[in-house]
Amino acid sequence: MKDTASVQKPARKPLRDTCVTIAHGGGGKAMRDLIESVFTDVFQPDAMEDQARLTSEALATPGARLAMTTDSFVVTPVEFPGGDIGKLAICGTVNDLAVGGASPLWLSAAFIIEEGTEIALLRRIVATMKAEADKAGVRIVTGDTKVVGRGSADQVFITTTGVGVIPPGRDLRAEHIRPGDVAIVNGVLGDHGACILAARGDMALSSALVSDCAGLGHLMQAVLAAAPNARAARDCTRGGLASSLNEMAEASGLAIEIEEEALPLRDEVRGTCEILGLDPLYLANEGRLVVFVPEAEAEVTLAAMRALPEGEGACIVGRAREGRPGQVTMRTLYGGARIVDMLVGEQLPRIC
């Protein structure tokens, strides 16, 4: 029997195409060249099989559970200050696992690519994905590519699925939130949504804003180490902080009250929202989470967050209380209160 480990693959010619063509999605040599040159040479999966085969010592621990999430990314523009669609795909999927208490381990990535897309753009996106995956401690282990005709997509769409492991005894769910628990966010809100809006150039807005896009796996692990009784967390993506709090209020059967004065917002975000009639509470974030912890663990949670770059701006924004179940209210700067309802529709399409 031939020793397959010693078989040398023939040298592959470098990919000479500058743009994606329909042939790159046809299942033949052109597709193989694109996949190997742009994707697998960077992601370096264990084998070119139709599935990834996964093992982890974490799964051998009695009581450990798998966590799985999936998401699609269709942002426009695909490159923006502070990131690109590839960074969004990795960070968004890692964060969905992390806020559930899981340690992210593996990702899959599927690409829908528009005919005519520059291969140089794909290379930049893939390089970003690899860098973010390495930073988060996850591996991209399998994937897929499809090519569609001009006008059937907008350069590239990415779908990622993430798998992680939740250790025994950890159970973060909004239904565990109790009256008096405090709500903590890890930094300024709305930067991603405002950044994308400015980057599109549709409204002649000039801004130095950079997306807050970041992986929060390490931050969440630090929070859980400092606050073992943490109740629940959500990453504040589409729909912003307001939507995350509404989901948590409904699931817990409690009311949540936040303080307008405590909300961390940049002047540029406030100004953009005032000009366009937007509410910053609903602006998308891609590197922000809200976590509920018992009041006794609030200070250690803040200290743990502020010790990491992703949590330098951590602050308390509100608390859970008895009241109308599922209602979120905001105490305004003028001493009044207003209801912060779930977003109807979407303020900004194609933001993630």
Q: What is the DSSP string of 132-188?
A: HHHHHT-EEEEEEEEEE-TTSSSSEEEEEEEEEEEPTT----GGG--TTPEEEESS-
Residue 275 placed within a domain: yes
Both tokens assigned to 340:
């912060």
Residue 100 placed within a domain: yes
Give the up-direction half-sphere exposure of residue 256: CA atoms within 13 A in the CB hemisphere.
Answer: 33
Residues 242, 286: one domain? yes
Per mean pLDDT, which range of 41-55, 80-94, 220-234 is the poorest? 41-55
How far apart, in whole angstroms, are the C-alpha atoms of residue 267 and residue 271?
6
Q: Quote the number of domains for the chain.
A: 2
Residue 82 placed within a domain: yes
Residue range(s) defining the domain that contains residue 92: 19-46+57-166
Residue 225 has pLDDT above 90, yes or no: yes
Residues 266, 332: one domain? yes
Contacting residues for 64 by C-beta, under 8 A, at least 6 apart: 58, 165, 166, 167, 168
Overall average pLDDT of the 221-237 stretch? 97
Please report the pLDDT score of residue 6 as a whole number: 45
How far apart, in whole angstroms, are the C-alpha atoms of residue 24 and residue 146?
8
Residue 5 has pLDDT above 60, yes or no: no
Burial of 177 (0-12, 13-18, 19+ CB in 10 A): buried
How far apart, in whole angstroms, are the C-alpha atoms of residue 2 and residue 336?
78
3 — pLDDT class (breaks 50, 70, 90): very low
Q: Give φ, ψ of 159 to 5 degrees.
A: -115, 130
For residue 117, the domain's CATH number is 3.30.1330.10
For residue 285, the domain's CATH number is 3.90.650.10
Please report the pLDDT score of residue 212 as a whole number: 96
208 — pLDDT class (breaks 50, 70, 90): confident
Count of all residues that appear for the chain in the document: 352
Please report the pLDDT score of residue 7 as a whole number: 46
Residues 118, 215: one domain? no
Please report the pLDDT score of residue 8 as a whole number: 52
Residue type, 158: I
Residues 232, 201: one domain? yes
Among 166, 192, 220, the domain-final residue is 166
Residues 152, 245: one domain? no
Query: Shortest CA distance to 108 belongs to which of 91, 93, 88?
Result: 93
Residue 349 placed within a domain: no
9-31: burial string, b at 16+ Cβ within 10 Å, e else:
eeeeeebeeeebeebbbeeeebb
How far apart, in whole angstroms, are the C-alpha atoms of residue 152 and residue 147?
9
Residue 51 placed within a domain: no
9 — pLDDT class (breaks 50, 70, 90): low
Residues 64, 208: one domain? no
Please report the pLDDT score of residue 92 as a whole number: 97
Please report the pLDDT score of residue 4 as a whole number: 41
1 — pLDDT class (breaks 50, 70, 90): very low
Between 97 and 202, name the one with better pLDDT: 97
Residue 108 has pLDDT above 80, yes or no: yes
Q: pLDDT tens digit string along 145-166? A: 999 999 999 999 999 999 999 9
Residues 135, 224: one domain? no
Residue 2 placed within a domain: no
Query: Shortest CA distance to 286 belongs to which of 137, 132, 170?
Result: 132
How far apart, in whole angstroms, are the C-alpha atoms of residue 215 and residue 237?
13
Residues 144, 245: one domain? no
Residues 137, 188: one domain? no
Between 8 and 145, name the one with better pLDDT: 145
Residues 200, 281: one domain? yes
Residue 333 has pLDDT above 60, yes or no: yes
Residue 2 has pLDDT above 50, yes or no: no
Among 166, 188, 219, the domain-final residue is 166
Residue 33 has pLDDT above 50, yes or no: yes
Overall average pLDDT of the 119-134 stretch? 98
Q: pLDDT tens digit string along 318-327? A: 999 999 999 9
Please report the pLDDT score of residue 15 as a whole number: 85
Q: How distant is the alpha carbon of residue 263 from its chain centre?
A: 21
Give the up-direction half-sphere exposure of residue 16: CA atoms within 13 A in the CB hemisphere.
Answer: 2
Contacting residues for 349 by C-beta, under 8 A, at least 6 apart: none
Peptide bond into 228 cis (omega under 30): no
Residues 137, 162: one domain? yes
Residue 4 placed within a domain: no
- Token pair 């924004």: residue: 317
Q: pLDDT tens digit string along 249-301? A: 999 999 999 999 999 999 999 988 888 888 999 999 999 999 999 999 999 99
Residues 188, 92: one domain? no
Please report the pLDDT score of residue 272 as a whole number: 86
Please report the pLDDT score of residue 13 as a whole number: 66
Among 166, 189, 216, the domain-final residue is 166
Residue 344 placed within a domain: no
